[in-house]
Structure 1
């Protein structure tokens, strides 16, 4: 089964993930179930440490080494993807809702998940100007969010001169 097929399957995100594991010949162990339930309960991409810690009490805590092992297996099957949304550890998210690309604030750490089509204009400018096909799934577009920008009077880029008053 391809990842595209996985994303198009009807039903709940969690059930889709469980079905995908079985379809690729993997057992739905208690540890895998826990990782998938945690990712499904999360508000966005989560670190392995957050998953092992139970995501603020939303799911039971689990062994960190087990979480890492299962995330690796789940990523190999295409049901989980990791992303780097700042200077911290890699974060993990389910792919059952479709691809997401990200914008992240380097000051406050806030991020915004976008459907890839929302960045097609940016991608087109990069392709036209530099000949690169940009992808922001693994590494986001980094900058300052509106709130951080307005708090400092900065323009759109870190290190830029403050806006005239």
Structure 2
């Protein structure tokens, strides 16, 4: 997979990389998927921010078959990742105000950047917490019939002397 030797130079020189990545290569996603199939496309662009800071814009598209948390069947989830990240040196001291600023996302980098890992990270951040089909019921709920209250027999004992 593609690695960027110097992420800071990549951003400074406004370089662009793009490609596709097989879902089978995204191992941290496997537990969330109904099946390990398909591929995603990505586009990474470097640029300088308003204050001259090194920035990356990552877009990821495609669809992945997430497992519904109710029926465990596949949900065709359309990826639409569009992340803008400010590159900072790994171990950089950021102020509390910088860390709490929701308008900025930081990407700590030594120098080299693994693009596949970055793509997988951003996909994981974009996924719903508990994916499920619209109107999906619990497994086996459709033929369960009337629900029996386990305390119904106790209602007959109410008010009787010991």
Give the TM bin, normalised by the shorter chain: under 0.3
Q: Which has the higher helix share?
A: 1
Q: Which has the higher strand share?
A: 2
TM-score, normalised to structure 1, is 0.26
Point out the structure with max Rg over C-alpha: 2
TM-score, normalised to structure 2, is 0.26
